[in-house]
Chains A and B, each alone.
Chain A
Amino acid sequence: MPNVIIDPNSCKGCGLCVSVCPKKIIKMSEDKINKKGMHYAVMTDSQKCIGCTFCALMCPDCVITITKDDEESDGHV
């Protein structure tokens, strides 16, 4: 499963990731601001993420890291 990690404090709140997510599962924080004083991107429903990386491709500030669980390992170490 894809895992989208958004670093709240390096986000500049530009909204480009929100605009390109095909699943519409990223939104801007409404009531909270980060250390830069900006509303920041938050993941709302990680279960729906398809791991397309569109959000990360459009982020100008490398705020988003994406990992995938190793399918072969099947969760076993």
Chain B
Amino acid sequence: MVVFKKPHALTDVPMHYCPGCTHGIIHRLVAEAIDELGIEGRTVGVASVGCSVMSYDYFNCDMVEAAHGRAPAVATGLKRSMPENIIFTYQGDGDLAAIGTAETVHAASRGENITVIFVNNAIYGMTGGQMAPTSLPGQITQTTPYGRDVTKQGYPVKVCELLSGLDGPTYLERVSVDTPQAVKKAKKAITKAFRNQVEGKGFSLVEVLSTCPTNWGLTPVESLKWCRENMIPYYPLGVYRDKGAEK
């Protein structure tokens, strides 16, 4: 009996991510959710710009590549023209919370029936480790060599908290993948975000705290610890909106 294997919704293409980058874990969880709900044939993913730009090669469903930050707008168009299809976006924090802030906020406030997977690794990974809106106060990056100074660079954008101020979203949850237990919880949240769409419930976003060992300058194992000790206290895990449960 097989108790654990690669999900069908992932292709056999080797992922280009750096060793130990948790983008890979999050890809697997998305694919497991697609498998469990049996929706691979009618799912269309929207890849964003960032390290996950090539996720169109890794998911077995149809994929579209959006311009930087525009994934929720592209997903809106897809969903409205093909309401029977299941549409998800997979976006980093530079994509979703910097250049794509407007698309994120308005898709959420319109309550579009789409699923957004938001990977927050507190840095611009693809371009070599510049400060992201989500970089922590004091965090050293290529563009904040003395640490992010909140008097000059401002405070991090907390996406779940920000969107929870809107009436539009149906489901907002922040999870992490720093331990096997956390991975199991993240899987539940991601599956729920897809199930909500299948049931026509509206906008669901799961923020996943992720690592970037390469640009954080840490080993993969140290990166999980850094996420646990620095990111989780600043970005508290939990459910920020669940209209299903509120009723």
Contacts and interface: CB of A to CB of B under 8 A. Distances in A.
Interface of A: 2, 10, 12-16, 19-20, 38, 51-54, 56-62, 64-70
B180 A15 contact: no
Contacts of A53: 3-4, 180
B4 A56 contact: yes
A60 B23 contact: yes
19 contacts: A10-B14, A14-B213, A15-B20, A16-B20, A16-B220, A53-B180, A57-B183, A57-B184, A58-B25, A58-B180, A58-B183, A59-B25, A60-B15, A60-B20, A62-B6, A64-B4, A66-B5, A67-B3, A68-B3
B28 interface: yes
Given A10-B14, A68-B1, A60 B6 contact: no
Contact of B20 (A12, A64, A67, A70): A12
B10 interface: yes
Interface string B1-39: 111111100100011011111111100100000000000
A69 B14 CA distance: 29
B19 A66 contact: no
Interface of B: 1-7, 10, 14-15, 17-25, 28, 179-180, 183-184, 213, 219-221, 224
Contacts of A51: 3
B220 A67 contact: no
A60 B10 contact: no
Nearest to A22: B180
B95 to A, nearest CB: 20
Contacts of B10: 62
A65 B4 contact: yes
The list of the 6 closest CB pairs from A to B, nearest first, reads: A60-B24, A14-B20, A12-B19, A62-B6, A66-B4, A14-B19
B19 A62 contact: no
Contact of A70 (B1, B5, B25, B219): B1
A60 B22 contact: yes
